[in-house]
Chains A and B, each alone.
Chain A
Amino acid sequence: EPEVTQTPSHQVTQMGQEVILRCVPISNHLYFYWYRQILGQKVEFLVSFYNNEISEKSEIFDDQFSVERPDGSNFTLKIRSTKLEDSAMYFCASRETTGPGELFFGEGSRLTVL
């Protein structure tokens, strides 16, 4: 069964360092998302991406964050200068079409900022 894959599963980094989280969405999907879940808190929307550009972003997605689809398969989330409060589980998701169809999630990348 096709699935969304994310790497790394866990990354520990020092405050101020750059981090890139990688996602491989399901191959025929066109809409891509990043969500995050701080430990013990709600899942929060970060950004949606379609047709090689950001379609929407939340207040959380400030200038420290960026997304890219560099090669037609990977979908990356970059945090330029990590802060302690960026520690969270980051989920990538993809969807085949627009509309209320199912979002397929990866297993998440846990980021720990020290």
Chain B
Amino acid sequence: AQSVTQLGSHVSVSEGALVLLRCNYSSSVPPYLFWYVQYPNQGLQLLLKYTSAATLVKGINGFEAEFKKSETSFHLTKPSAHMSDAAEYFCAVSRPDSNYQLIWGAGTKLIIKP
């Protein structure tokens, strides 16, 4: 069975600092992994996805994530935080045995300090 764990319900960083949002997964089959972002009062927008190609995946807004099979991780990073990055970030794993529906992490709220 697939599951996703996001460490830290809230992460606070200073503007210009490194952003690191952690995601670990468990999957009985090779996983497809996603990061979505939810800005206040908006829907879910895809940041990036891993679908068994390159392990380092680049997404929108300067975010990237690295798939590490040995660590069962897919952490999201951005070298320099911007105030506009304040949002909630969700990691998700896709179930290929179930119409590729998404199993979601609990989300991490990213707070940017000026």
Instruction: Name A's B-contacting residues (CB within 8 A).
Output: 4, 31, 33, 35, 41-45, 48, 50, 55-56, 91, 93, 95, 98-108
Given contacts A91-B43, A91-B44, A100-B96, contact A45 B101 (CB under 8 A): yes
Q: Check A50 against B106 for contact (C-beta < 8 Å).
A: no
Q: Is the CB of B101 within 8 A of A100?
A: no
User: Quick one: which of A35, A41, A48, A91 contacts B99, CB cutoff 8 A?
Assistant: A48
How many residues of chain B have a CB within 8 Å of chain A?
A: 23
B interface, CB within 8 angstroms of A? 32, 36, 42-46, 49, 51, 90, 92, 94, 96, 98-107
CB-defined contacts of B101 to chain A, threshold 8 Å: 33, 45, 48, 56
User: By the criterion CB–CB under 8 Å, are B46 and A102 in contact?
Assistant: yes
Q: Which of A31, A33, A44, A106 contacts B104 (CB 8 A)?
A: A44
Which A-chain residue is minimally distant from B46 (CB atoms)? A102
Docked-complex contact B43 and A105, CB < 8 angstroms: yes
